[in-house]
């Protein structure tokens, strides 16, 4: 038996950056659902995405805070190399804006696997070692969910009687204020092995970067 590489068809070579695919699952059910800076959990959804919008300004702010954390998470994940998000799945008890998200799953396709660090230290999880790319990505997600950040954002206003939004300065803090370590425990990241433009005989040498969770450069 032999494997013939379709090099002419796909024009791939050993010098082409090796892609990487990771699946991410976040159990958001234990995150704060309060009306303060800790609430809102994390979600890519905005108020207009729901079949029934939020009924109070407090619920609207939760949605806006959840979306802020989603954007912060995306910024953290793009720290070293470009990527795209695929297969987003959100879980709510119903398609209504007053209900909090209970689970979030999505895939990440990175352009260059070697630019994703696989060594370092995760401060959020009692200084545990980062020894895989999946753990690096998990740490970047946990960092976004444990960060204090203030931003001017759009907030849906259900009190006006019409579908309107207004700009508000909102602050987000950690999705869990007491048990910070549980943030990382709620995140599962898995690399889908063998995902690459290169064929099996063309996989390049692993030259991943090193990383520390305090390094945001």
Q: What is the pLDDT, as a whole number, of residue 114?
A: 87
Q: What is the pLDDT, as a whole number, of residue 160?
A: 80
Q: What is the pLDDT, as a whole number, of residue 42?
A: 97
Whether 12 has a pLDDT exceeding 70, the answer reads no
pLDDT digits (tens, 9 = 90+) for 169-200: 999 999 998 878 899 999 999 999 877 655 55
Whether 203 has a pLDDT exceeding 80, the answer reads no
Using alpha carbons, list the distances in angstroms from residue 155 to 17, 41, 86, 148, 162: 40, 16, 26, 19, 13
Q: What is the pLDDT, as a whole number, of residue 118?
A: 85
Going by C-beta distance under 8 Å and a sequence separation of 6 or more, which residues neighbour residue 4? none
Q: What is the pLDDT, as a whole number, of residue 216?
A: 47
| 43: phi then psi, degrees, rounded to nearest 5 | -160, 145
Going by C-beta distance under 8 Å and a sequence separation of 6 or more, which residues neighbour residue 181? 124, 125, 126
pLDDT digits (tens, 9 = 90+) for 15-67: 667 889 999 999 999 999 999 999 999 999 999 999 999 999 999 999 999 99
pTM: 0.83
pLDDT digits (tens, 9 = 90+) for 102-158: 999 999 999 888 888 888 877 676 667 888 999 999 999 999 999 999 999 999 999
Q: What is the DSSP track for 105-165?
A: EEEEEES-GGGS--BEEETTTTTEEE-SHHHHHHHHHHHHHT--EEEEEEEEEGGGSS-EE
Of the candidates 177, 176, 192, 62, the one whose C-alpha atom is nearest the C-alpha of residue 137 is 192
Whether 80 has a pLDDT exceeding 90, the answer reads no
Distance between CA atoms of residues 99 and 56, nearest Å: 12
pLDDT digits (tens, 9 = 90+) for 154-171: 999 998 866 788 999 999
């Amino acid at each position: 038996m032999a494997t013939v590489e379709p090099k002419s068809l796909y024009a791939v070579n050993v010098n082409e950056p090796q892609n990487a695919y990771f699946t991410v699952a976040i159990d958001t059910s234990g995150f704060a659902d309060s009306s303060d800076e800790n609430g809102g959990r994390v979600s890519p959804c905005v108020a207009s995405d729901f079949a029934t919008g939020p009924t109070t300004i407090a619920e609207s702010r939760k949605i806006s805070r959840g979306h802020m954390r989603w954007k912060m998470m995306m910024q953290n994940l793009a720290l070293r190399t470009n990527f795209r998000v695929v297969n987003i799945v959100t879980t709510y008890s119903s398609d209504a804006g007053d209900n909090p998200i209970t689970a979030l799953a999505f895939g990440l396709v990175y352009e260059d696997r070697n630019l994703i660090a696989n060594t370092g230290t995760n401060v959020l999880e009692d200084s545990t070692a980062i020894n895989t790319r999946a753990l690096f990505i998990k740490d970047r997600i946990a960092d976004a969910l444990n960060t204090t950040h203030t931003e001017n954002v759009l907030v849906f206003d259900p009190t006006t009687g019409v579908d309107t939004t207004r700009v508000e300065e909102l602050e987000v803090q950690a999705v869990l204020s007491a048990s910070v370590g549980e943030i990382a425990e709620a995140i599962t990241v898995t690399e889908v092995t063998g995902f690459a433009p290169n064929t099996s005989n063309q996989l390049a040498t692993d030259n991943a970067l090193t990383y520390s969770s305090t390094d945001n450069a």
